[in-house]
């Protein structure tokens, strides 16, 4: 309202209301807003769009990890296959494949190259078409399967809502053999109960909260995000597959950084084999830089993701389901027996990735810190850069810090 003073009287004049947007003039000078009606088409008209989670199982062999790399078609990932199957099945529009934010896509864990999963969970919005799981699976390769689907709350995020993750690592027990054991006869090796007990004592040291900046890359010693909480880590009883003895390590924690689990296992193997003492574990949690070897990616499996807080809040409200997969356990086990375990055993027996990796352990310096060793070298011999090419299968290299260093396969060293 607007007022004017005149002749001592207050005059009140109403203002005309103008609506924003494009429109046409109507009666009394008002603006009429033109509303553009949008007609739903295709699946938008036939099927509702809902927020769901998918339970995924896959063998990571031949794939460059879980997460999709837009514009890198030569590096095929698990999400590349999944998004393609979702589009072909009519669950999402074509343009959602180029921008996954449009379907609110999120995965629980980014598994690395070659890493498998039996219980990966992704959240997204999709059209609830008929026989949705069957149609998605019909467009997926056999080594990737959707084993479960559940409705979740609209704001659910599989990564942020996840309380913990459980991984397993299947490896040949010859990894725990003495360092002078002849690995060409690895199939004949059998793990002694005393060695298994020592292995579990070392794995038990990881329980609790520690600074794991030495177990990943590009993390400073005082970076708060390098502190991680481990609730369980142990090695199970050995078993024989393909004529060789294997064992399965289980580790559960709130979250893990890139390569963290593989380095945790790699350091314990180095200690058991005698390349370093037990004290290296505690030293690796300190601020100094420690050289921690990274075990091969083959054998690492994302077993399960946990949503305890979500289940407690929404699982019993009568509208939503608990994110537990009890009914899918048989399907999960069947997939592991058909696709994951055979792939690990056959690849290990054929390529010997663990034996090849163990041959590199003598190169690591577990006694001195990385920065301390570099400073000492510079004081003695000064700054220099030399590249040595080794085209032979096994070579002996003279280095300034060590008399002899053994290298397996063709390598290039910068000293």
What residues are annotated to the active site?
112
What span, in angstroms and rounded, lies between the C-alpha atoms of 58 and 359? 30
Nearest residue to 163 (alpha-carbon basis) of 67, 260, 27, 305: 305
Note whether 200 and 182 are within 8 A (CB).
no
| Burial environment of residue 322 by CB neighbours within 10 A (0 to 12, 13 to 18, 19 or more) | middle
What span, in angstroms and rounded, lies between the C-alpha atoms of 85 and 82? 5
| Burial environment of residue 86 by CB neighbours within 10 A (0 to 12, 13 to 18, 19 or more) | buried
SS3 129: coil
Give the DSSP per-residue string, 38-103: ----THHHHS-EEEEEEEEEE--TTS--SS--TT-TTS--HHHHHHHHHHHHTSS-GGGGT-GGGG
Q: Tell me if 206 is assigned to a ligand binding site.
A: no
What span, in angstroms and rounded, lies between the C-alpha atoms of 124 and 97? 12
What span, in angstroms and rounded, lies between the C-alpha atoms of 74 and 154? 34
Parallel, antiparallel, or unpaired: how do β-strands 116-127 and 300-306 relate? parallel
CA distances to 83, 115, 146, 393, 403 from 78, rounded to whole Å, are 9, 10, 12, 34, 45
- Where do runs of H (alpha helix) occur along 189-300? 193-204, 260-273, 279-284
Binding-site sequence positions: 167
Residues comprising the binding site for substrate?
Answer: 167
């Amino acid at each position: 309202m607007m007022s004017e003073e005149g002749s001592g009287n207050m005059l009140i004049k109403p203002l005309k209301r103008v609506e924003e947007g494009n429109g046409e003039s109507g009666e009394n000078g008002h603006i009429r807003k033109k509303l553009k009606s949008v007609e739903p088409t295709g699946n938008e008209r036939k099927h509702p769009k809902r927020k769901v989670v998918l339970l995924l199982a896959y063998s990571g062999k031949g794939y460059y990890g879980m997460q999709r790399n837009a514009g890198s078609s030569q590096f095929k990932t698990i999400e590349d296959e999944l998004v393609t199957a979702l589009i072909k099945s009519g669950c999402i529009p074509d343009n959602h494949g180029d921008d996954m934010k449009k379907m609110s896509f999120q995965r629980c864990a980014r598994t690395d190259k070659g890493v498998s999963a039996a219980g990966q969970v992704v959240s997204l919005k999709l059209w609830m078409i008929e026989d949705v799981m069957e149609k998605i699976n019909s467009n997926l390769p056999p080594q990737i399967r959707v084993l479960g689907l559940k409705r979740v709350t609209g704001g659910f995020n599989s990564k942020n809502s996840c309380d913990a993750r459980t991984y397993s690592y299947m490896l040949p027990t010859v990894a725990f053999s003495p360092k002078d054991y002849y690995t060409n006869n690895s199939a004949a090796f059998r793990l002694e109960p005393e060695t298994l007990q020592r292995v579990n004592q070392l794995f038990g040291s990881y329980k609790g909260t520690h600074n794991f900046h030495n177990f990943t890359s590009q993390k400073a010693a005082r970076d708060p995000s390098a502190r991680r909480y481990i609730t369980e880590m142990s090695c199970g009883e050995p078993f024989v597959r393909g004529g060789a003895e294997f064992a399965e390590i289980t580790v559960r924690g709130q979250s893990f950084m890139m390569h963290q689990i593989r380095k945790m296992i790699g350091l314990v193997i180095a200690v058991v084999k005698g390349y370093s003492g037990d004290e290296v574990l505690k030293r690796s949690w300190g601020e100094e830089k420690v050289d921690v070897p990274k075990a091969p990616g083959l054998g690492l499996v994302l077993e399960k993701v946990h949503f305890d807080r979500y289940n407690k809040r929404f699982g019993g409200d009568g509208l939503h389901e608990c994110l537990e997969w009890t009914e899918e356990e048989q399907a999960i086990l069947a997939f592991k027996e058909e696709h994951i375990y055979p792939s690990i055993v056959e690849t290990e027996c054929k390529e010997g990735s663990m034996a090849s990796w163990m041959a590199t352990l003598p190169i690591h310096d577990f006694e001195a810190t990385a920065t301390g060793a570099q400073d000492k070298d510079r004081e003695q011999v000064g700054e220099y850069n030399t590249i040595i090419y080794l085209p032979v299968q096994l070579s002996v290299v003279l280095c300034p810090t060590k008399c002899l260093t053994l290298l397996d396969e063709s390598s290039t060293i910068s000293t």
